[in-house]
Amino acid sequence: MAEKVYLAIDMGASSGRHLAGLFNGKKLVLEEVYRFENGPVEVGGNLYWDLLLQWSHVRQGLRAAGAKWGGEIASVGVDTWGVDFGLLGPGDELLANPYHYRDARTNGILERAFAIVPREEIFRHTGLQFMQLNTLYQLLVMKLAGSRLLDIAETLLMMPDLFHWMLTGVKCNEMTEASTSQCYNPATGGWATELLEKFDLPCGMLGRIEQPGAALGPLRENIVGETGLTAANVVLPASHDTGSAVAAVPARSVAGETPDWCYISLGTWALMGIESPEPLINDTVLKLNFTNEGGVAQTSRVLKNITGLWLLQECRRLWNLAGRNWDWEDLNQLAADATPLVSFINPDAPDFLAPADMPKAIHKACKKTGQTAPADEGAVLRCALESLALAFRHVLSMCEELAGRRMETIHIVGGGTQNRQLCQLTANACGRRVVAGPVEATAIGNVMVQAVAAGDVADIAQAREVVRRSFDVEEYEPRNTDRWDDAYEKFLTIL
C-alpha cells in the first residue's frame, strides 16, 4: 500500500504532542510535529485546565501538520488523561473551564458519597476503584455545593470528547474515557444511570457512547481552511491515554491461548494490570481496589493505579528550585551510587499525593516506620525507585490472583521506560522478565486504532505485530532475587 499518514494528538497532564504516524502497510514511523506545555492554572484557590489555551495549541499543531502533509493526512484522533470533563449549556456554550483532577475540593468526598450509597453498591454498578478524583465525585461535590451549572448543563463531555467536538461539531462520549468516570457500567456498556439517580445527579447531559475506531466525520470547514487537512476524518482512538498505551503493548497473541503477560503504563502514574475479555466485578476485585476500564477490541483493562515517577519528578523539581540544576542522568547516577535495599515507603500513601516537599515526606515516612532515613539525595532516590519496584511486585501478585495464572512477562510501556534503572529493579523485585518499550506507546496506540478503523490493519493483534516490527524494545532479566525476597517481606510490613 502507499504510505498513509495518521495524526495523533496526545495530551498528557504536563505536556501535549502532535505525532504523525507514517504507515506503509508493514512498518510504522512516528514523527513529532508539535509539542506544548500543559498543566493546571490556579484561580481563587482552585485548580483548572486552561481549555482555550489547549485548543489554541491543538490548532497550531494541526497547522504544523498541514504545512507538511496537508491532504495526505487520512485521519486525526485525540487522547488525554481520564476523569476530567467540561459542561456545555444551551447553544453549546462552554459553561466553565474544566477543573483539574488534583483540585482539593474533592478532599473527604468519598466518605460523604458512601453515606449516600454504600461503597459495595457503587462498585457493583461501576466496577471502578475508589479515587476521590473520579468524575462521579467531582459531580457530587458540585451537587452538594448547590452548583447551578448542573441545572444549566445540557451536555457533559470528557476532555478528549471536548476536543473531538471542537474539531467536528459532533458530540459523543468515547467508551474508554467514559469508563474512567465511575459513571459508566462496564457490564451493560452504558451509563450507570441507576447509580447516578441515587445521588440525584442529572443523567440527561450524558450522551451516546461510541467505541474506539468510530468515525466522527470531517473537520469543521473553518479548521480545514485554516490547516489544509482537506482529506482528514476525525476517528476516535482509545481516547483515554492508558487505553491507547495498552493497545500498543508489543505482546504476541496466539489464538486459543490465554495471555501470560501483564502491563505497566509508566509515567507520572503507573497503571498496572491485565487485559481481560470481560470486566471482572466481584468481591476480590473490590477488596484489592482494582478497576475495570474499557479497552480496545471489546476488552477490559483490569488494573490498579500506582503512584509512579511523580515521586522522582517532585524530588527533582524541589532540588532544582534550590539551585541543583540536575537532569535525569544526574539523578540516575545518584541513585546508582546509593546503598541498595535499605529503606522503603508505600508509594500510594496519602503523604505522597501532593506534598509541599517530597524529599522530606520520604524521609519522614522512613523514620515513622522505624527505618533508616535516607541520608542524602541519592538515598532518597534509591528508596523511591526500590519502593516502586516492590509495589509492582505486590500488584503483580494481585494480577495473578485475579487472572488465576502466572504472568511470565511484564510489559512496561510509555515514557518511564527510559528509566532503565527502574526497569531492571522491577525485573529483580518481581522475578520476571521485563520487556520495556515502546516509549511513545500512547501515540502509537492512537495511530494504530485509526489504521484498524481505516482497514489498513486487520485488528489489534495485527497492530501489535506492526508495533513489534517497527519499534525497538529492551529486555531485562531478574538478578539477585534472593535479596529482593527478603526486601519484599519488609516492604509488606510497611504496607
Q: Which domains does the chain carry? A: 4-235 (3.30.420.40), 247-437+473-495 (3.30.420.40)
Q: Is 357 a catalytic residue?
A: no
- Tell how strand 300-307 and strand 269-276 pair up: antiparallel
| Under 8 Å between Cβ of 255 and 91 | no
Give me the amino acid identity at 206. Answer: L
Closest CA to 178 of 230, 117, 134, 228: 134
Give the pLDDT score at 268. Answer: 87
- List CB contacts of 102: < 8 A, sequence separation 6 or more: 40, 47, 133, 354
Give the pLDDT score at 254. Answer: 65
Give the pLDDT score at 14. Answer: 85
10-residue block means of pLDDT along the chain (495 residues)? 93 93 97 96 96 98 98 98 97 96 94 98 97 96 97 98 98 98 97 98 97 98 98 98 97 75 94 95 96 95 94 96 96 97 95 91 97 97 98 98 96 96 98 97 98 97 96 96 96 95
Dihedral of alpha carbons 322, 328, 329, 335, sign: positive
The DSSP call for residue 72 is: G
Does pTM top 0.75 for this prediction?
yes
Q: Which of 161, 241, 348, 456 is catalytic?
A: 241
**Three-class SS of residue 271?**
strand
